[in-house]
Structures are given as structure tokens and as C-alpha cells.
Structure 1
């Protein structure tokens, strides 16, 4: 029998050490070991077992005694196809991640396994206790009283030893302990952890934090653990202590294996009636799909033009050919309405992928796709990895949205992954938006993408009338409320005629700025260089970056004067003020603070659709993708906040947000109106957004991009540096710049690039770590990426900066 070796990606390898590793496949595993299966392999000098993914099986080329052997194969059948394995290598090259980080992207979180190490005392071996350290004696004494093997984590916790203790391993090497290892699948169930008080009388000696938890549970009866921690401003450890004392107890709500299990297949599929414009766009897209060459097309249409109907008609044809479709939406908040339309038309042929599902549910949906039970995957960016074998179409709705780009490693963009998959399957990628990214529109204009346009709203619906209110004039007239007189009057009128309204304020919380009038100190997070936001719902000041919170107080933490001033406004204050000004209004606030529980978005949007509320006050989750016929008024409370941002995409984001939110009004038979409040009504972006004149906005923006050499005329590579000592982080960024200069001049002189000097990140400190950035304007070529990869590897190996982490991100949505 021929000797084979497995080329594998190993879990938990550092980027500078990451590559494929070769292992002999023992004869007993020859039938099981296949590309796409996970395995256990001995790794490193100590040969500790590591999880690995087999990427290739080949005839053995080295001498047998040079190679270690695969210990076990964990999967009966491959989890990754040949396409997925190709994608793993592509992600490593493009995203500067390890191979196994790329592997984990392609697998549902619920299928992940962890290695469980257990220890047992070797019986009958003489133990002279004075020859052992204190830690080793503690371990031996504990295991002497155990009749079963004890998992490492449990052993260290029971003995009070640190998680990185080497005592068990030293005892194993000396022969006093036996060690066994196994792979354990990690799947959390779909139940939600709830808390309630027991019948026991609360103990008199409770800490202030524990008493706060008890008060909340007395008032609410029960609440989820997440809600208790938010409203009491505590960590789960405080609640755990109350449970240990018997004052409170945990329980679980009903388990949902599939939240969409009630969906039925439609008896008859309703015919989609397309307008002439829609029919023309559909025919062009169908012709491109039928060509079998794949490619990318931009479907550009004003809000309410019926882009969804066009690509649903296209999906009908793809399904009729026996092929599969992926449809992506940018946020969970947009998923419920999208899902409702897809379930209504395609029934149980639809699988769902988004972070609002439990690990169990995500695993189940992944399995349904792998078994060929579904033909359509709908979800957020993770849906792009749905394991279809015969992909015919990928649709990215609201393709310009920042949520399609991952901000943590692997730092991929779903659009780029979609292009890779469509090229592999010769499938069609449709990018749909009323406000496409400048890059996508440019590529459509120069012929890199095909272009289809829907210039009119469907069914005769008209674009909303847009009014601007100068808030300077409101202040001069003595109106100091968040709401202008014009907006308030229209809200009141809408309530009387039983129409609904949407109010956008892209800041959550109550007050967004806290300072002392006596000493001028701004109350900031001790862990981050950001001011704290006051949340009225839990009476606490909170950091939206690291989660730090402190109780509300009027006393200055610096000078202790009772002169703390709360300014700025968020959605909580906007909601409260609206209720004070219009007591008869039924107001729904929709932001991440009120949508903590599973399916909260869906439930709240459904209640709004049923007419149970008159007004939604929310962050940008209410600005896009929502379609309510009864909404005839949209108000934007702070347009300037979006306009004057921190990087070259600020105007693009502002135009997108204002155009999209205005487009929520008048989508049915009723005329719509949008009122935009601003302190700078003369800004040209506002007028262009009001007219939904994207081509005119694009012409101005593309000229600036070309002059400043920004995308699409160049790529941006941002190298970030993170560490606990600011001086060292700054020095590390300068050292990296010198390494870049030397390597580029010596070996990559042909690569065009402009390098900006290192500088602190916009938010200089997050979670007690300082951040610096180095920006390179470049061409995203294989040669350039090779150079950056070499620099990252060399930097990581330099012990001078061993406590500074460096990472690279090509074309980030937001510059660090």
C-alpha cells in the first residue's frame, strides 16, 4: 500500500509561523483521511495535540522517520469542498490571516470542536511529597480523591491554580499522572439564560451591586441574564454569586431549534408583475446569467423602484435551472422583512444565516444547505459562505453598507468573497442599491461591471418631498428641544390621520457628552479615549467601545464639585422628549439597547407593521431596507452628525444615509415627506440627497477621489499597531515604516505606493490598548501583498516589539 501524507492547516498558529504542515497518514486512517476533514495532529516540540484541517492528500515524498503522524480523523465526511479549500488559500493571501482562521470562517460556529485534556492519578506509584512543588502536591491530593478522569480546566479551577499552570503537565512527564485527549464538539443550545429570585429571603449582607440585581428582579419578576447585567450595570459574576447564595436561580426559556420551522411551502407561486423599467433590467440580467460567463452587474435604482422584484424574478429562473442563490442583506434588522418575502414566495427552500440565530440553529441551517434541502440562503455577510455546490446567482442588497466588511481577522469583504465564488461557479453577482459605493458605480461606468438602472418608483409612487429646517433659526426663536416646530407639527398631524412616522437619530443613549462646569473635565472612559454616554434606561454612564459603566452622578470625579453637566442627545432622550411633547403618541424606540433578546427586531417591526405604534425613533437600523406603506413622514434629527465625519468617505456615508432614510416615506399609495434638521442647510450634499440625485453627487465625489488618489484610483492598505504602552506602539510604527522603506526600495521598486507617516488612531485608546496606524496608497497586487506579508512576519519575529501587535487591512471601510 502506498504511503500518503496529509498537508494540514493547524489551529492557533501565529501568523508569522503559519503555513501548511505535512503529516504521515497511518494505514488505519487511509480511508478516513480526506481533504476537507478535520484531524488531530501532534504539534511543536512537546507534541501536544492540535486541531487541524486536512487541505491536501498526496503521495509521501520525504523519508518516513522525518515526519509525525496524524493521530485521528474527526469527520466521517469532508466538511470543505475543493472550492472551499481554494477559498481558504485565497483568504490567507488577501486578508493576512492564518489558514485555520480562514477555515473557521467557512464552518458554522456550532460545529467547532475543542480539545479536552483529562488527567488521572497513576495508582500504585510511590509519592514522596517533599519532592513536589506546592502546586504539584495540590494537584496530586485533589486527584487522589477522584474516581474518574478530571478535565484540565476543572482541575485547575478546583485547586485554585492559574489557567496557565504547568503542574499537571510536569506530573504527567514524570509518570505520576495519565493524560488523555479528545475532541469535543461545541454546540450551544438555542435556549436563553433567564434569572429570577428564589423564595429564599435575600441575605442582609449583600453588596450594593447584588442589591441592585435583586431590585430589578423584584420589579420585573424575571429577565434575561444580558438584560439584568445591562440594567444593573454588573457583570455575570455578580449574578452567579447570587445564584450560589441561593437568592436567585437560573432557568432557560423554550428551546427553538429552528425559528422558521412554521414556514410552509406556497401552494401557488404568485406571478411578479414588472414595470417596463424592471422588465428591461431583468432581461439584461437574465441574458448575462444565461451567457454562462458570470460577471458582476450593478442594479442601480431609486428607493422604492422595485429592485427586489427584479432579482426575485431572476432567482425564479436560476432555481428552474437547478442552481442555487445567495441573497445578502447588510444588517439583522433588514432580515425579517426580506425573509418574509422570500418565505412567502419560496417557503422551506430558504435557509437563514445571521448572528441573531443560536449556534444550534446556524449549524442546522448549514446542514440543510449541505444536504441539498434548500436552494436559497438569505442572511448577513456570513451567508456568502453558504456551502452550495451549484451556485448560479449571488445578490448583495444595499451593497455599499460597511457591515459587509469584517473588522476583525480575517478582515474580508463579502463582496470580494462573492466575486471569488461567482468566478469559480461562473455565476452572476448582482450588486443592488439606490446609493452604491463610489467604487462600484465607477466600475459600472468604465465597463468593468454591467449597469442596469431603475430611475422611477414602482407603481406610480412618488419620491418624498424633502424639507430642510435650519436649527440655527429654531434656537433664535427660543426652541431648545430636539424637535423643530415644523417636524413636531407634521408628527402631530400624522398621528391624527392615523399615518406612521420614522425618526432617525444615529446615536443611542440619552446624553452623549458629560462634563464638569467647574473644572471643565470631560467624563471619559478610563479604558478608552472616548467620552461616556448617559443611558437613562439603566441610570448609568456607559462606554460604547469596551462596555465600561458607572452609576449616574452629578459629582465631578476630578474636582468633586456638584456641577456635572449632561449635554448632547441620543435615541433615549429623543424618545422621552417626543412623549413629553406629544403625550398621545405611541412611540417605539429601536436601537441595540432595546433589541437585546432573540428576534427582538422582528417582533418590534411586526408590531409597528400592525399599527401598534405611531412613530419609530431609532438609529440607522431604521434608515434602510424597511418597507411600510403607512409611513408617510420621515424626520432626521441631526444630519450634520453624518456629514462631518472622520475620513474621506464621510460625504458618501451622509448621502447614503439621508437618501435611504428619506426613501422610507411614501413607498405605497400615500404621498411621503421627509424633514431634515441641520445647522448647515447650505451644504450641497443635503440638496443632492433630497433630490436622490446620485449621478450628480458621484460626479463631484469622483473628482475629489481622483485628485486625492483615493479608491477607486488606488487601494488603501492600513497597517495597525496595538499595545499597552503608547510610546512603544509609536516606536513600533516608526520601525515598521523603516522596514517598509528598505524592503520596497531593495526588492519591490516596481510597486507604486505612497506612504503616509504613522499617526495615532482616531480613537487612540480602546480597552487600555493604544493604537497607531500607517496608511499606504497602493495597488492591491499579489506582489504588494507578498511584501506586506513579509513585513508582518519580520516584525513579529523582532523581539524588540514583542508586546506590540501589527495587522494589515486592505481597503477598510473606516480608517483606524
Structure 2
């Protein structure tokens, strides 16, 4: 019996994705969760992998591991199990799941180095490139990286010279695994053992050296920079003390983070309303059972859900456990993180994609090492390595941003449910507009429903007015704002109050036509119309990023340079506002203005400080934000959200309208909201205006039941993409034929409804044509096994190698 490891390999295709067994060489220390390098395939090419299991078994015929990359496991048993769950439930590969669990900076580059194994006598007889290689390495006198060597000598990557010299024993090839982002390090100084005060130094030292020793006697240890500053000496003084064995220099890992503030308040100081106290008591009781529990905190906008979170988290921390708090948008993270740090200080770590890779890696390490017990972040923060997890909070749990649209296609709510079950923790979902599925589970008793029906303090829900744009007059300077809404904006400005306007479409004009032949300007790579952006003077594609200068763009049909513009984006609204209110300070927040690092935090901070009067933005301004001086909200184009090709379109529209209306009147000042629409009779708009979620839920759940949509079934999407339209269509039809035949013969009792296949709503993106089908099913282990069999069969068909297939385990479109 020998020690063996079962390894998941990086970049394995779905067809060959499995755990491969390797022998652990004697003397090599290995634990499950460590990354390793292994020889793979007939050519024994080095591959990176992770040890999923380590055990004792027969090792005959097994290859040996090449090296161990990590000195300690990156993933513990729970997270390794979560990687297996992701593979089984989202149809991804093992290492794709592992990569999702780790911060981006933890990636490893595998590099090769070459050095002379000896002074080669054969070099006298070598010629050409081989002789040049020997001479170059002799001149360097140390190992040289492969890419450096090839570039210096102008050799091709597939040149056989290096391999020939290695086989002849002249060159020694070594492998180097280098972490992409290195740990943050700080050089520290302390006195040598046995020296506790100045009199313990027996060697003769200078006055400056004496100052250094005296400083270290008082402080114990300090960084080199601190010693140089406070003792007013140069680095040379420290180096000479080290040579005299009076001080010792060492390195210490430091965490790179822009947030380092102590706690300023105690959550116990928060004054809760009677309703909040009841909610907090119920949630703490659920947590104290010591069992895995789920709760849905349903509260109207402005009811004080965050204050309840803070008190419950304090209760969890006092019991010795940690918490994860998820928010749906990066724009919400700065405000949420600042609020939590106010109460919990450095016990809070932040994880989201706007941080640099080094900062994300260090925040992840702080959590893993127990330096921070609260992780706050967007979707990926659900994987935070909190050891003793007691609570997971999902704020605005209905948001679609919690669902990943690339492999692995997981939903954070599903992952949170798995982690809560493992840790026997409390899963707390919260929203003013819960998802239909979550509210359904609460009505069934699977979640405990906790309600906050009133706004906090004296705040009242805003008065909502529905403006029929078919009868409303427009302003004199454009077609974005109704005259009534413009008057309300002016009144708010006169009172010194702030306003928020929502338009969920960025750009300036959203439709560009040829003025001569009427041809619409489309992206050459996608089945999407281009959008005009005034900020850069380009026609832009919002899917692949294609752009072309507006000034020189010609109609592809007739060659005319004259264009007709229509449609409205956030840039157009900003221009109209600047003309209507020349003295107003206007802030635009959309993807174009928030690309810079820390832009969300800076812009929202400026708006909160009163530096702007009006904020116009996309859905990132619609939810979770709390500005006491905002008394007016306007939804400029409600109809665009209502009629999407998606069975959730009404649910999403109701949520968006309710959330943005809820930004108004959150303090003492009364709020007003205006919804501009051409269909004022639509019940979704009327229910959102009245903030009546229970009534909306009753209508929506009845429709879902009649038409068999979740939560009354599961829906899995199967997508196909490739460069040739006919090939993609035929691959989708062939897959369907095989799926139907396999279901009839092997799974005749399995209930299935298949819709499609057909072209996707956007038939082409980035040069790839797309088809899809939807399967209504019961997504249990048996069905997942059936579907995996179909995918593995498809991947084995060489005729479809140019058409990729993917599985979406939570399809949210009827087709």
C-alpha cells in the first residue's frame, strides 16, 4: 500500500473530466486541497491540478506526482465537497469549480528553466542553434526561463534544439510553478535573542546604531521603514547591526486592503422599532436552535432590514461564529461595507471584482486565516472560506445578478443553501420584492417568514403617480421627460432636495438608421443594433464591444453617410437635463461612467454629501441605496422592462419599479415618485405603484401554476454555439433526437417537456451563432445523470467538434 492522490486537472474537456490517480513519492508531504503538478498523457506533459483526495491504496502502474505547489491546503474538506457539488449540479469541470472557489490572484503559471548540467565537452562539436544555446547559458551562469532563452536567440517555440540537448544530457530542464500574484511582504526588524536592553549589547556600536537598538527595546519590533524614520537613520545602519548579530531582519506577510478602520459603534446601540425587535428576536431564536434553518425577511423599502442584519450578526459573532453578507451589485458594496465596518471594524473583509487581484487575494486570506469573520461582497463572496460559518445573508435575494452566466452556472442562493446545511447555519434571504420561488417556499413553511410592514421611524411610503405618455406633454428641449416630471424636478431643486431618475439603457441614441434607405446599423459580429455614444463619438455594441467612429461610418447597404437617430439612453437624458436645468449638478451612473476603480464609492459618496442634485442611472441606482435627502424618483421608460422574452419579465419589472420608487422619502421628508409609461393600465405598474407585493405574488403564482413554470417545475437550458449557422442548427436538432430516443429507451418514466430547439433571442454574439432548447423537468440526481450522459455522448461526436454545448441549470427564459 502506498499513498496516492486523486487529482482534478486544469483545462480538462468535459468528456475527459474525471479524477486521475497518482502515486505520492516517498518523502513528499501532501494533503487534500493542495495544488500539484503531474505528468499527463502519452507525452507526460506537465499539467496543473488539485488533490481532491489523498488515501492509501495499491499504486502499481501509477505515475508519480511531479511537485506540490502549496505548502498548506487552499481548500478544506467542505469547499472540496462544494467543488464536487458544483460539478454535479452545474455540469462544469472539476477545475472550473475549484477556480471559482479561489480568488483570481491565486492562479499559478507553470514555467520551464534550462541550465547546463555540466561543462559540456560536446560543445566543441556542436553547430548552429545548439552551439548558440550552450554559449548563451555559459554566459548567464544560472538557470534561464524557456521564454527568455527563446526570445534572446530568436528561436521558435517548437524548436527541437532544446529537447535534443536535454536528451543528450547536456541541458537540465526544470519546472517552476509561480503564483501569478505574490504575497504582500514587509521587512521587519527585531533584536536578536538574548538582547532585551541596551546594556546587553557587548559590541562597540555607533550613536546611530544605539538609537536603533533603543527604539527596538521600546517597541519590540518594527518595519525597516519605521526604524529608518523614527531613528533618523539609513538602511545601512540596520544592515551593519544585522552583520554584527545585534538585530535580525525577517519578512512578514501583510494584507493589501484600502479599508482599515476600527469599529466606531456597537450594534447594540441601534434603536430598533418594535417590529424590528420582533424580527430580530425571531431570527436569533432560529439561529440558537443549532440546526440549519432558512428565513425570508420580507420588508417594505425603507423598513430597516439592514439594522436587523447588524443585530443578528452581532449575536452570531458573540457565539463564536462568522457570517457572509451578499449584495447584488458592486454599487451597493461600498455603502454596505462602510456601514458594517462602522460596527465591526477590521472583522469585515470585502470581496468583489472592483478590487485589484492582490487586494481580493489578501481579503480572502484574511478570512481564511480567521483575521476577518464577516465577508461582505457580491455573488462570489458566497464561497468565502469562513471556517465557523453561522449566518449567510442575501440582501435583495431576487436579483438576477446572483446567477452566474458563465461556467460554472451556479446561483448564489443554491450555494448558500448547501453551505448553511453543512455548517448548521441560518440562511437569511431579504427583500422588499422576494423572488416568487422564495416567497412560495416561505408560504409552504420551508422558510420562516418574517415581515416588516412599515418604514422605520416616521418615514412614509412615497406617493406614486403614473404618467400616461400617450397624453402627457413633453418638454421643449427633448423627448425624455414629461412636462409634469420636469416641473417636479424644478420644485425639488428649489427646495434643495435631491432626485433620482431611472432609465435602464445606456448610451445616447439606441437606434441608428440610414436616412436614405432606412437600413439599421447593426454590429458586424452580433445580431444587435448599434448604440450611439456621444461621450466618445462612436457607434458601440453592448455585447462584444465593437465600435466604429460615427463621423466616418457609412451605410453598408447604400454607402450613405447620413443617419437618422432615435431612442433614448442615459447620455441623452443627461444632455436634456443640462439644458432644462443649467444650474443643476447632474450625476450619471452607468457602465460607461463607473469603469474606473472605486468609481461607485466616489460617485455615491459625492451624491450622499450633496455635491449633486440629480442622479440619472441604470438599474445600479435602483436598489439598496439610502439617501435621506432624495424626495423625488422618476422611472422614464417603464415599458422597456415589461415585455422581455422571459417568463420572469413581470416579476423583474415589478421588483425594479418597487425598488426604485422606494429610494424616495426614506427620512423625515415626504417622497414622490413618477412612472412614465404608454400602458398605464398594466397591473404590474399599478401594483408596483401601490407597493403591494402580496397581491402581485398571488397573480404571478397563479399564472406560473397554469403554464407550468418554476416553482412548479425546474427548467434547464441547453445551448449550442459555433461559427457556422447551419451547423449549429443541425447540431441542436441532432442532440434533441438523441435525447428523445434515450429518454424513451432508458428513462421512460421520467417526466419531461422539451421546448425547441430554436435560435436564441440574440442569434449571434461575437461571431458565434446560438441555438437553444429548454427542458421542463424535476432536476433530481437521476435527471442530472441522464442529461450528463447526453452531453458526454455529444462531446464524443467528432462531426460536431466546432459546435460547443453548455447546460444552464437555472434557465430563466421560456425559449
Q: TM-score, normalised by structure 1?
A: 0.87
Q: CA deviation at 1:815?
A: 6.5
Q: Please name the residue that 1:799 is paired with.
A: 798
Cα–Cα, structure 1 residues 350 and 477, in superposed 2: closer, same or farther, change >3 Å? closer
Cα–Cα, structure 1 residues 361 and 480, in superposed 2: closer, same or farther, change >3 Å? closer
Q: Are the counterparts in 2 of residues 474 and 480 from structure 1 also a CA contact under 8 Å?
A: no
Q: Please name the residue that 1:33 is paired with.
A: 30
Distance 1:138 1:759 in 2: 56
Q: Which consecutive unaligned segments of at least 5 residues does structure 2 have?
A: 185-253
Q: Please name the residue that 1:102 is paired with.
A: 97
Distance 1:293 1:414 in 2: 21
Q: Please name the residue that 2:109 is paired with.
A: 114
Q: If you compute each CA radius of gyration, which structure gives the higher value, 1 or 2?
A: 2
Q: CA deviation at 1:517?
A: 2.4
1:259-279 deviation line (CA, Å, top 9, x unaligned): 444311336555122212212
Q: Please name the residue that 2:707 is paired with.
A: 708
User: Secondary structure of the residue that 1:415 maps to in structure 2?
Assistant: helix
Q: CA deviation at 1:178?
A: 4.6
Distance 1:159 1:599 in 2: 44
Q: Does 1:185 pair with 2:179?
A: yes
Q: Are the counterparts in 1 of residues 516 and 560 from structure 2 also a CA contact under 8 Å?
A: yes
Q: Are the counterparts in 1 of residues 108 and 180 from structure 2 also a CA contact under 8 Å?
A: yes
1:734-778 deviation line (CA, Å, top 9, x unaligned): 111011112111212222110112111111111101111011001
Q: Are the counterparts in 2 of residues 405 and 812 from structure 1 also a CA contact under 8 Å?
A: no
RMSD over equivalenced CA pairs, Å = 2.3
Q: CA deviation at 1:372?
A: 0.9
User: Secondary structure of the residue that 1:399 maps to in structure 2?
Assistant: coil
Q: Please name the residue that 1:56 is paired with.
A: 53
Q: Please name the residue that 2:285 is paired with.
A: 287
1:555-587 deviation line (CA, Å, top 9, x unaligned): 423312232112111111111110011111100
Distance 2:154 2:745 in 1: 54
Cα–Cα, structure 1 residues 742 and 661, in superposed 2: closer, same or farther, change >3 Å? same
Q: Please name the residue that 2:62 is paired with.
A: 67
1:482-538 deviation line (CA, Å, top 9, x unaligned): 111011111111111100000101111111111112112111111111011111111
Q: Please name the residue that 1:341 is paired with.
A: 339
Q: Are the counterparts in 2 of residues 418 and 429 from structure 1 also a CA contact under 8 Å?
A: yes
For residues 758-769 of structure 1, what are the structure 2 equivalents within 5 Å?
758-769=757-768
Q: Please name the residue that 1:227 is paired with.
A: none
Cα–Cα, structure 1 residues 143 and 607, in superposed 2: closer, same or farther, change >3 Å? farther
Decide which of 430, 446, 460 is 1:448's aligned counterpart. Answer: 446
1:693-735 deviation line (CA, Å, top 9, x unaligned): 1111111111111111111011111011011111111111011
Q: Are the counterparts in 2 of residues 189 and 358 from structure 1 also a CA contact under 8 Å?
A: no
Q: Are the counterparts in 1 of residues 477 and 576 from structure 2 also a CA contact under 8 Å?
A: no
Cα–Cα, structure 1 residues 423 and 168, in superposed 2: closer, same or farther, change >3 Å? farther
User: Secondary structure of the residue that 1:550 maps to in structure 2?
Assistant: strand
Q: Please name the residue that 2:595 is paired with.
A: 596
Decide which of 507, 519, 528 is 2:505's aligned counterpart. Answer: 507
Distance 1:723 1:159 in 2: 39
User: Secondary structure of the residue that 1:670 maps to in structure 2?
Assistant: coil
Q: Please name the residue that 1:409 is paired with.
A: 407
Distance 2:719 2:422 in 1: 32
Q: Please name the residue that 2:521 is paired with.
A: 523
Decide which of 371, 374, 377 is 2:375's aligned counterpart. Answer: 377
Cα–Cα, structure 1 residues 268 and 450, in superposed 2: closer, same or farther, change >3 Å? closer
Q: Please name the residue that 1:202 is paired with.
A: none
Q: Please name the residue that 1:327 is paired with.
A: 325
Q: Are the counterparts in 1 of residues 295 and 427 from structure 2 also a CA contact under 8 Å?
A: yes
Aligned residues: 739
Decide which of 384, 387, 401 is 1:386's aligned counterpart. Answer: 384
Distance 2:302 2:287 in 1: 25
Q: Are the counterparts in 1 of residues 113 and 143 from structure 2 also a CA contact under 8 Å?
A: yes
Q: CA deviation at 1:460?
A: 2.3
Bigger Cα displacement from structure 2, 622-631 vs 536-545: 536-545
Cα–Cα, structure 1 residues 326 and 571, in superposed 2: closer, same or farther, change >3 Å? same
Q: CA deviation at 1:382?
A: 1.2
Q: CA deviation at 1:286?
A: 1.4
Bigger Cα displacement from structure 2, 750-759 vs 497-506: 750-759
Q: CA deviation at 1:173?
A: 7.1
Q: Are the counterparts in 2 of residues 139 and 159 from structure 1 also a CA contact under 8 Å?
A: no
Q: CA deviation at 1:189?
A: 9.4
Q: Does 1:771 pair with 2:770?
A: yes
Q: Does 1:671 pair with 2:674?
A: no
Q: CA deviation at 1:258?
A: 3.8
Q: CA deviation at 1:814?
A: 5.1
Q: Are the counterparts in 2 of residues 721 and 805 from structure 1 also a CA contact under 8 Å?
A: yes
Q: Does 1:80 pair with 2:75?
A: yes
Q: Does 1:540 pair with 2:538?
A: yes
Q: CA deviation at 1:793?
A: 1.1
Q: Please name the residue that 1:436 is paired with.
A: 434
Q: Please name the residue that 1:217 is paired with.
A: none
